[in-house]
């Protein structure tokens, strides 16, 4: 069985991420979204809520699972019996970092292959950071994130404004 992992911060999951995971779910028998706890980044959304939101957004995709993880992606892939790491590639900005990571992961474990899915033209310039900035300033991000994320961000920033 071909199992793939799709690692990322997903802080929050956007329509760009959802497009990648939907396409990956058609290419592999099982895809595991691995929501990373990165000790070097302070996320807007805590890990439990990022996992919960990712689960809510992918509930119509029966072969997609969501898990939280910390550590090396290749070790997670080993543990889950996954031979593939899926990453999304947007415009020019992602290339250098993504190639560096793919090469590093290959040197750590030659049996795990990184597969890149080109971002859909609609989502080429969509990043979680921009979504957060716009939502924080009260802008409309409904065209950029799935409904559960939109609700979460609205509640999150309404609470912040009230306090």
What residues line the site for ligand ADP (CB under 6 A)?
Answer: 8-10, 14, 16-17, 20, 87-88, 90, 94, 119, 123, 126-128
Instruction: Characterise 81 by phi-psi region: left (phi > 0), alpha (psi -120 to 50), beta (else).
Output: left
Active site residue 41: yes
Using the CB atoms, write b or e for 33-52: b if 16+ within 10 Å.
bbbbeeeeeebbbebebbbb
Separation CA 102–CA 112 (nearest Å):
10
Separation CA 125–CA 147 (nearest Å):
20
Active site residue 90: yes
Token code pair at residue 102: 């793919």
What minimum distance in Å lies between the beta carbon of 24 and ligand ADP?
A: 11
Separation CA 4–CA 83 (nearest Å):
6
- In the complex with ligand ADP, the residue whose CB is nearer, 90 or 136, is 90
- In the complex with ligand ADP, the residue whose CB is nearer, 146 or 158, is 146
- In the complex with ligand ADP, the residue whose CB is nearer, 80 or 89, is 89
Set 9, 25, 50, 128: catalytic member: 128
What minimum distance in Å lies between the beta carbon of 162 and ligand ADP?
A: 28
Set 41, 107, 159, 163: catalytic member: 41
- In the complex with ligand ADP, the residue whose CB is nearer, 9 or 105, is 9
What minimum distance in Å lies between the beta carbon of 110 and ligand ADP?
A: 21
What minimum distance in Å lies between the beta carbon of 118 and ligand ADP?
A: 8
Alpha helices for the chain (secondary structure H): 15-27, 47-57, 73-79, 95-108, 128-136, 147-162
Set 23, 30, 52, 90: catalytic member: 90
The residues assigned a catalytic role are 17, 41, 90, 128
């Amino acid at each position: 069985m071909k199992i793939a992992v799709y690692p990322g911060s997903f802080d929050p999951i956007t329509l760009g991420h959802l497009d990648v995971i939907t396409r990956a779910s058609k290419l592999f028998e099982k895809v595991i979204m691995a929501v990373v706890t990165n000790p070097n980044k302070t996320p807007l959304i805590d890990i439990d809520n990022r996992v919960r939101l990712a689960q809510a957004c992918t509930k119509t995709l029966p072969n997609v699972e969501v898990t939280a993880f910390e550590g090396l992606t290749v070790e997670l892939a080993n543990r889950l019996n996954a031979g593939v790491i899926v990453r999304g590639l947007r415009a020019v900005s992602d290339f250098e970092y993504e190639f560096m990571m793919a090469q590093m992961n290959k040197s750590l474990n030659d049996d795990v292959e990184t597969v890149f899915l080109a971002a859909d033209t609609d989502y080429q310039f969509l990043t979680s950071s921009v979504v957060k900035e716009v939502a924080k300033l009260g802008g409309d991000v409904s065209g950029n994130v799935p409904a559960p994320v939109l609700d979460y961000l609205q509640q999150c920033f309404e609470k912040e404004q009230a306090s």
